[in-house]
Every structure is written in C-alpha cells, then in structure tokens.
Amino acid sequence: MARIAALFVLVLAVALLAFIRLAPSDPLRWHQMPGTITNRDLEGGAMRRVEGDLAAFDAIIRATPRTRVLAGSVAEGMVTYVTRSRVFGFPDYTTVRQADDMLEIYGRLRFGRSDLGVNAARIDGWLERLAETR
C-alpha cells in the first residue's frame, strides 16, 4: 500500500511539473500593463519606471537564458517576455512599454503567490546592464 501511495504522489508531482512547463501562455492575458507603473516590489513581481530606450533594453532581455518574446515588438512600443526558471520551468512574465523617454516595466509570476524577489532581481539586473551601455 505504501508503494502505491508513493507512486501516486510521484505521478502527481510529474503531472504538475509537466503542466507548469507545458501550459500555454495566452498573449491576451499576459501582454498587458496596469494603469500606473511605479517603482515598487510586489509580492509576486516588481514594477519599475526608468529612463531608457526599448530597443536597447530589448536586446539585453533577449540575451537572457530561457527568455523569449510572447507578444509585441519594439516597433509597437510594448513587448512581453516569458522567462522560465532553470530547474522547474516556472514562467515569469515581463512586459515593457516605451512611454516617451521612459521605460515602464512590469514583471510578475504566473504560479504561486510569492516570487521571493526573483522578478525584481532580474529586472534590476537588466537595468544595471542598460545603465552600462550609456
């Protein structure tokens, strides 16, 4: 009986991980920005508003491992990226919008309640690299 229970738990864990890694990302849901972007950390993400150029920032983000464009483009003025965690493939979404000479950045998790500061650290790292290009 213990082996069956252990096997059941293992199958559930594998199914959950497969769902997390393979669940489709709906651009209509994730390619959005809140009404106001301020510099703050959130429980499940982060917001930043800084001076910058979307094209330069886009190049930095695209060079990040396990990151791809979900929707939008530099020409449209707004891009949403998906970055997956290394081990389990948890998706985080980052939307960046050019607003005049400012970049508005909104990073958030998809699964769970807290990202343990991962999105804020990733965004701040990208911004440090952007500052080095000036």
Full pLDDT tens readout for the chain, 134 residues: 888 888 888 888 888 877 777 788 999 999 999 999 999 999 999 999 999 999 999 999 999 999 999 999 999 999 999 999 988 889 999 999 999 999 999 999 999 899 999 999 999 999 999 999 87
The pLDDT of residue 13: 83
User: Which pLDDT does position 122 carry in this prediction?
Assistant: 98
For each of the domains in the chain, give its residue range(s) and CATH number, in order of start. 26-132 (3.30.310)
A 10 A CB-CB count for 66 gives 12
For residue 96, the one-letter residue type is V
Indicate if the alpha-carbon torsion angle 60, 62, 64, 68 is positive or negative. positive
- Would you say 103 and 47 are in contact if contact means Cβ atoms under 8 Å apart? no
Could you tell me which of 33, 38, 43, 21 has the C-alpha nearest to residue 115?
A: 43
pLDDT for position 21: 77
